[in-house]
Amino acid sequence: MKKGIHPDNYRPVVFKDMSNEYMFMGKSCAHTKDTVKWEDGNEYPLVKLDISHTSHPFYTGKMMLVDTAGRVDKFKKRFAKFTDKRDAASSASEAAPSAE
């Protein structure tokens, strides 16, 4: 491994899955302002996760929609603009008389 490219400030951190409130502890160097009191009575930095192994469809076997930032709606809105233009162009070409 190359020297000097990996962080050296790893510390115990609590990770919290925001979709189901599951928490687990690990080591990380992620910056966070939040803290939480852990089971041992100590206070640790808290890293909030959108999804973890307890809520991911691959591990749970259940398909569920996780849309914390409105990504699905944003995609549908963008894609609707494309389909509207395509539909308008195809209807305009059908309505125009052919010059035969």
Is residue 22 situated within a structural domain?
yes
User: For the chain, how many structural domains are there in total?
Assistant: 1
Is residue 50 situated within a structural domain?
yes
pLDDT per residue over 24-60, tens digit each?
999 999 989 999 999 999 999 999 988 887 877 666 6
Three-state SS for 29? coil
Domain that holds residue 40: 11-92
The answer to whether the pTM exceeds 0.75 is: no
pLDDT at site 11: 93
pLDDT per residue over 3-21, tens digit each?
888 888 899 999 999 888 8
- Six token digits for residue 20: 């189901």
Is residue 67 situated within a structural domain?
yes
Is residue 43 situated within a structural domain?
yes
Is residue 2 situated within a structural domain?
no
Is residue 45 situated within a structural domain?
yes
DSSP sequence for 2-16:
-TTSS----EEEEEE
Is residue 49 situated within a structural domain?
yes
